[in-house]
């Protein structure tokens, strides 16, 4: 816990009153980054910091605030709306900006008057994908998800032999990543109906969500130069919520032998805020594979990873159907799990990705794979909760779901909390399903 500092003090308060409320996702101890513009405006997008129910506009703050020369230089790419350039800075420089923003937004700050004029209510902002995502890779680190899904298709051998040796992943599609608040169009695809001998092209009938976290890469590595575990933290910028939408009927037909393709690349939704790794420092936990399992190969192992490589983050999925919305009824929670159950850590995912010399770049996104818990009620997808569609979930208004229907709004939520630390959240990752295009 050597990186814990005054920005993690749970008693620290902000002059932004809403940041001091018990249930806020964005207290002074969080300070996540996002990209926004004023709703209804044509202004260029700018980087902001979430603080309570407000956004600190870093374009305005860079010029209105009083900063050291070193911080002023680091704020410039943020003022220009270029989060990727800031991501490329060293972890120590990124931490310097966090300290400056924390001090400037703290209760009693001499910058209160100047920075109050730089605040915008989040309700008046239009959020965007927070940075340029050059590449997107999705991992499969949720062992409870992998086991449950494996049992549906391979009852006698749910986990393939390599799962406990190597972080499994596949290359996704960055161009179809959207931000929370958008819609997801039900995809068309090639399906093999039960009992048929010839596939058909039709709208997906088994549309599903997947509850994941996404890791944004900070400074990258040169082509051919791996990133060792000892340096992994330097290359991790922050974490977001990620919904890896899946067309299960398309997936079942196409995934062999090369894995996911059209069943996955039609949409991925992320939350608008990136919670920095510094903000997550208090929520590190020890990590280990069960003693009876294979232990990580040396390139995926380190003392630090074993002592504090994991993170304890509560994860939830909420659903509001079109009927619920029309009746003014709130969303209902489908499940809750925790990232502590992941079989591989964020550092291991990043290190493995670069271990063959693959060059990661600032803004690249690594999905964790579906994060389910050990109990049946903790499934991070409808595929698990409905046992492959064999049993429907009952909703409070009497509706049922085995998979998702048009008009359904799926919301992912997450927060980290522990005794002696201020609770921080990730905001919502929400999207509403709209009908497929006409064939």
- Six-digit token pair at 431? 């999207």
Q: Which of 340, 242, 335, 237 is nearest to 284 (CA)?
A: 340
Using DSSP bridges, classify how beta strands 54-57 and 400-401 pair: parallel, antiparallel or unpaired. unpaired
Contact 50, 28 (CB under 8 A): no
SS3 189: strand
Q: What is the dihedral of CA 272, 103, 312, 162, to 10 degrees?
A: 60
Alpha carbon 333 to chain centroid, angstroms: 18
Contact 140, 353 (CB under 8 A): no
DSSP type of residue 234: G
The rounded distance, in Å, linking the Cα atoms of 155 and 253 is: 18
Is residue 145 annotated as part of the catalytic site, yes or no?
yes
- Six-digit token pair at 201? 């092209």
Contact 262, 246 (CB under 8 A): no
Q: Indicate which residue of 8, 144, 145, 341 is catalytic.
A: 145
The rounded distance, in Å, linking the Cα atoms of 193 and 186 is: 18
Contact 235, 222 (CB under 8 A): no
Contact 315, 342 (CB under 8 A): no
Four-residue CA torsion sign, 288, 291, 292, 297: positive
Contact 341, 156 (CB under 8 A): no
Four-residue CA torsion sign, 12, 16, 21, 23: negative
Q: Left if phi > 0, otherwise alpha if psi is -120 to 50, otherwise beta: which for 395?
A: beta
Those residues whose C-beta lies under 8 Å from the C-beta of residue 295, and which sit 6 or more positions away, are 289, 301
Exposure letters 225-247 (e unless 16+ CB within 10 A, then b):
ebbebeebbebbbbbbbbbbbbb
Using DSSP bridges, classify how beta strands 200-203 and 188-191 pair: parallel, antiparallel or unpaired. antiparallel
Those residues whose C-beta lies under 8 Å from the C-beta of residue 155, and which sit 6 or more positions away, are none
> What ranges in 221-317 are assigned the alpha helix state H?
248-254, 303-308
Beta bridge mates, 434: 185
Q: What angle in degrees, to the nearest 10, is found between the helix axes of 91-105 and 69-79?
A: 90
Q: Which residues are catalytic?
A: 145
């Amino acid at each position: 816990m050597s990186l814990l500092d005054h920005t993690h003090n749970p008693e620290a308060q902000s002059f932004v009153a809403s940041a001091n409320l018990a249930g806020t996702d964005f207290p002074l101890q969080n300070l996540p980054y996002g990209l926004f513009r004023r709703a209804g405006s044509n202004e260029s997008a700018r980087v902001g910091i979430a603080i309570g129910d407000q956004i600190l506009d870093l374009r305005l703050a860079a010029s209105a605030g009083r900063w050291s020369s070193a911080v002023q230089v680091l704020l410039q790419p943020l003022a220009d709306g270029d989060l990727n350039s800031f991501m490329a800075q060293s972890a120590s420089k990124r931490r310097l900006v966090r300290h400056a923003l924390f001090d400037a937004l703290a209760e009693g700050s001499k910058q209160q008057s100047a920075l109050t004029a730089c605040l915008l209510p989040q309700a008046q902002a239009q959020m965007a994908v927070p940075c340029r995502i050059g590449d997107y890779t999705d991992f499969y680190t949720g062992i409870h998800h992998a086991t449950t899904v494996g049992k549906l298709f391979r009852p006698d051998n749910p986990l393939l032999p390599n799962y406990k040796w190597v972080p499994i992943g596949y290359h996704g599609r960055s161009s179809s990543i959207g931000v929370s608040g958008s819609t997801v169009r039900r995809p068309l695809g090639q399906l093999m109906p039960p009992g048929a001998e010839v596939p058909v092209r039709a709208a997906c009938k088994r549309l599903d969500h997947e509850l994941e976290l996404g890791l944004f890469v900070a400074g990258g590595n040169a082509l051919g130069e791996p990133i060792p575990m000892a340096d992994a933290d330097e290359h991790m910028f922050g974490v977001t919520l990620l919904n890896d939408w899946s067309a299960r009927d398309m997936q079942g037909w196409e995934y062999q032998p090369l894995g996911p393709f059209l069943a996955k690349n039609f949409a991925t939704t992320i939350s608008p805020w990136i919670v920095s790794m510094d903000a997550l420092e208090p929520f590190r936990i020890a990590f280990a594979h069960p003693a009876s399992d294979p232990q990580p190969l040396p390139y995926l192992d380190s003392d630090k990873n074993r002592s504090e490589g994991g993170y304890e983050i509560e994860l939830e999925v909420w659903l509001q159907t079109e009927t619920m919305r029309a009746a003014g009824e709130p969303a209902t929670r489908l499940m809750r799990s925790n990232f502590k159950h992941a079989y591989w850590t964020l550092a291991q995912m990043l290190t493995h990705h670069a271990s063959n010399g693959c060059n990661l770049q600032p803004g690249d996104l690594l999905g964790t794979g579906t994060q389910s818990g050990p109990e049946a009620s903790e499934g991070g997808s409808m595929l698990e909760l409905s046992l492959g569609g064999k049993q429907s979930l009952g909703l409070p208004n009497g509706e049922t779901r085995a998979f998702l229907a048009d008009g359904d709004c799926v919301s992912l939520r997450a927060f980290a909390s522990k005794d002696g630390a201020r609770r921080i959240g990730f905001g919502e990752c929400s999207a509403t399903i709209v009908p497929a295009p006409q064939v």
